[in-house]
Structure 1
Amino acid sequence: MTLLERVLHHFFPRAGKALAVIHTLFIKRALWESMRTGIPLDGHGQPAPWITFPALDYLSRLDFSQAHVLEYGGGQSSLWWAARAKTVTTVEGRKEWAERIRRNAPGNLSLIGPVEGLDYVESPLKGGLMFEVIVIDGFLRLECARAALPFLVEHGLLILDNSDWNAPACRWLREQGMMQIDFHGFGPVNDYTWCTSVFTRRQSAVPHRGDPWTEAVYGNLVQPA
């Protein structure tokens, strides 16, 4: 705690708490730096996925060292996954992002792109490889979910970012028996909250209600699918 924070906590406890929140979010979680640069980073200046902080905190606690990861939509997340997983296959539709990923890709990261349309959805699945993790954070999210789910191993995780914007994809995955676990909150770059959801085949006795995230309650920026 800085001297200013200690003084505020002593004389103005509420202001001190507010400053501590700002320091945690903007400095420790590097939100200010990622907003300034437009590049998702962690507090150590390392690449971070552009997902919510609660989702990132959860995934950071898991061991992906033997996992094969399929990622629809690449960027800083591709480097983050490559540092933790056995292999990463990233599909990217934007030329500038594909070039950026390719320049920095380590040996265990394979990039497909830039590709569009059906090639974007189907190209990483043609080899028949099964994946422990499938990340959907790019174009055609419902189509990607439908095509890729058969290639998720039984105990695997499917991660859908911006799930609050993609109700049809969430609904379809739940209809396939997937359990939806929502991680809502702030994350890198953005000035609003959103939701990253993790889907698993493990059954739950409590079904997901499918209720929308409302800006008035949660502070997120809601856009229709």
Structure 2
Amino acid sequence: MIEKIIGRVIPLKIKKQLINFKILALEYGQYETIKNWDCIDKNNNKIPWYTYPTIEYLNNIDFSQKTIFEYGSGNSSTFWSKKAKNIVSIEHDKEWYEKVSKNLKENQILLYKKNDTEYENSIAIFDKKFDVIIIDGIRRVECSKIIEQYLNKESDEGYMVILDNSDWYKETSKYLREKLDLIEVDFHGFGPINDYTWTTSIFLSRNFNFKPIDNTQPNFSIAADKQNGE
């Protein structure tokens, strides 16, 4: 089967490949992220350096009353500040810390901590429990070993841990899954900037019950076929 495009005859299978390229490059906005080395979506909104399937899942969840703790900082911090009640981020790179700190919102706290035990132990400063803890900076193994006592286990809706590049940290994933007894959901795929696929894993407590936005889940993905369904 063939179709005619701009005066040329192009096989349907080639057309499908071009459409898929367009979806990733333009609809997900990956082309601009590579061009500018910046994690943004097609509307120039800042997004985390997670896989696109992870971001789409998170965009479906209501975090408006949730507290977030993030090892690492950047566009993800802005992304979470727009979604959550408040967010604390920890950064070890002084130059990057100074750049990120210029655009903080009222519900954000950003701390600079050195690349040593001070980094992972910074979570203890706040003497509180968090609904979501994100491990996406340095010392990920050490960070994973200290977070258990700072997860909001009193919440009726449970809690969440996010580990980016989890395919590089299989033992850390195993620790979260087995020692903390969390349910692991792996989101493989492309994401901003990179020319390869990777894995962002979300770990859920056994009683996890964060509500979806507008009580609808799942939503259509960015390039979904919306013609069929209920």
TM-score range, shorter chain: 0.7 to 0.9
Q: Determine the structure 1 residue equivalent to 2:192.
A: 188
Q: Determine the structure 1 residue equivalent to 2:145.
A: 146
Q: 1:30 to 1:6 in 2, by over 3 A?
A: farther
Q: C-alpha deviations, 1:45-94, integer Å up to 9, x for none?
A: 11010000001110110000001100001100000000110100000111
Q: Per-residue deviation at 1:114?
A: 4.2
Higher share of residues assigned helix = 1
Whether 1:7 and 2:5 are equivalent positions in the alignment is yes
Q: Determine the structure 1 residue equivalent to 2:182.
A: 178
Whether 1:17 and 2:29 are equivalent positions in the alignment is no
Q: C-alpha deviations, 1:171-198, integer Å up to 9, x for none?
A: 1111221111100000001000000000
Q: Per-residue deviation at 1:112?
A: 0.6
Identity of aligned residues (%): 36
Q: Per-residue deviation at 1:29?
A: 0.7
Work out the number of aligned pairs and report it: 200
Aligned 1:84-163 pairs, distance under 5 A: 84-154=83-153, 155-163=158-166
Partner Cα distance (2:104, 2:137) in 1: 19
Q: Per-residue deviation at 1:40?
A: 0.5
Higher mean Cα deviation, 123-132 or 72-81?
123-132
Q: Determine the structure 1 residue equivalent to 2:216.
A: none
Q: Per-residue deviation at 1:129?
A: 1.1
**Structure 1: segments with no counterpart, 5+ residues:** 204-225
Partner Cα distance (2:23, 2:168) in 1: 27
Q: Per-residue deviation at 1:116?
A: 2.2
Q: Per-residue deviation at 1:12?
A: 1.7
Whether 1:200 and 2:204 are equivalent positions in the alignment is yes
Q: 1:97 to 1:114 in 2, by over 3 A?
A: farther
Q: C-alpha deviations, 1:79-126, integer Å up to 9, x for none?
A: 000011010000011112211110011111100114321111011222
Contact 1:132–1:156 (Cα < 8 Å) also in 2 = yes
Whether 1:165 and 2:168 are equivalent positions in the alignment is yes
Moved over 4 A (4+): 8-11
**Structure 2: segments with no counterpart, 5+ residues:** 208-230
Contact 1:125–1:148 (Cα < 8 Å) also in 2 = no
Q: Which has the higher contact order (CA 8 A, sep 6+)?
A: 2
Contact 1:65–1:86 (Cα < 8 Å) also in 2 = yes
* 1:135 counterpart letter in structure 2: I
* 2:189 counterpart letter in structure 1: G
Contact 1:112–1:124 (Cα < 8 Å) also in 2 = no
